[in-house]
Homo-oligomer: A and B are copies of this chain.
Amino acid sequence: MLIQLINPNTSATMTDAMATSAHQAALPTTQILASTPLHGPQSIECALDEAIASAALLDLIQAGKEQGVDAHIIACFGDPALEAARELADAPVIGIAEAAFQLASIVAFKFGVVTTLSRTLPASEHLLYKYGYERHCSGVRATDIPVLALEHLEPQAYALLKRECEQAMTEDGAEAIVLGCAGMSSLVARLQSELPVPIIDGVSAAVKWAEAIHQLGIKTSKVGHFGAPVQKSYVGRYEHWTR
């Protein structure tokens, strides 16, 4: 199958890093089409970034749709534009937070989330409620490591990340850790080797979930709220959305 892995931020190196994780997770028969938007923020660390990135990533969804991809993954822990993408796409759209929460709750009684800036805590909290996982999460911890610093993580920053994972376990009762940023996916193996609980990365979880759904021949329900977007005229820089 062909999976479109969308990095909603414009950092190509981050796209590469998450694509590497995706490839490692994927079956040999799965191709990963890693997409970086041409427009938008370099990283997503607050609501403004997310709002802008949401609009931009939808162009990538459209491109992937035209390419006939079998699934789209939105690889940002805020799962931005998820509903809009599901309206637009024919193939299923999976958010990495949603996939991570689901997987984590199969293997642990409670999971903790360890993420980047504390500015993103509302986004995580919002998703936990939206997906129904608020009772399954032992807590969300922020490391205040900037998203772009994850690519070449300083030893002290890594140590901080690891320490937050440990405190999530000892203080919050986390029995698995969900890494709260697509940019952390390259750290899974190392953290897993140093910590006694499952470390869940949304990028790889989403890849596997996409393969699973595709193998079942299931697609997004197009009757109702994820149906094709309503016919509409668009103007200005979004004129191309007219349908």
Indicate which residue in B56, B173, B235 contacts A224 across the interface (CB closer than 8 Å).
B173
A122 and B109 contact, Cβ closer than 8 Å, known pairs A135-B132, A237-B39: yes
Indicate which residue in B92, B110, B130, B169 contacts A107 across the interface (CB closer than 8 Å).
B92
Bound together, the chains give a CA A10 to CA B41 distance in angstroms of 24
Contact count band on A: 35 or more
Bound together, the chains give a CA A50 to CA B55 distance in angstroms of 9
B-side contacts of A99, CB under 8 Å: 106
A169 and B223 contact, Cβ closer than 8 Å, known pairs A38-B235, A213-B107, A232-B43: yes
Per-position binary interface string of chain A over residues 168-209, scored 1 when its CB falls under 8 Å from any chain B CB and 0 otherwise: 010001011000000000000000000011101000110011
Q: Please give me the residue from chain B that is nearest to A57 by CB atom.
A: B51
Bound together, the chains give a CA A235 to CA B56 distance in angstroms of 11
Name the residue in A48, A52, A83, A175 with the highest tally of chain B Cβ atoms < 10 Å from its Cβ.
Answer: A48
Per-position binary interface string of chain A over residues 146-166, scored 1 when its CB falls under 8 Å from any chain B CB and 0 otherwise: 000000000000000000000
A232 and B42 contact, Cβ closer than 8 Å, known pairs A84-B48, A225-B119: yes
**A136 on interface, CB distance cutoff 8 Å:** yes
B-side contacts of A230, CB under 8 Å: 45-46, 49, 117, 119
- Pair B216/A205 contact, Cβ less than 8 Å: yes
Bound together, the chains give a CA A237 to CA B197 distance in angstroms of 35
- Pair A40/B216 contact, Cβ less than 8 Å: no
- Pair A132/B136 contact, Cβ less than 8 Å: yes
- Pair B234/A41 contact, Cβ less than 8 Å: yes
Could you list some 17 contacts between A and B, CB below 8 A? A10-B236, A27-B215, A39-B234, A41-B233, A42-B233, A46-B87, A47-B84, A47-B86, A48-B241, A52-B234, A102-B102, A103-B218, A107-B218, A107-B219, A108-B221, A129-B135, A197-B221
Write the residues of chain A forming the contact surface with B, with a CB cutoff of 8 angstroms: 10, 25, 27, 37-43, 45-52, 54-56, 58, 81, 83-84, 86-88, 92, 94, 98-99, 102-103, 105-110, 117, 119, 121-122, 126, 129-136, 169, 173, 175-176, 196-198, 200, 204-205, 208-209, 211-213, 215-216, 218-221, 223-227, 229-230, 232-238, 241
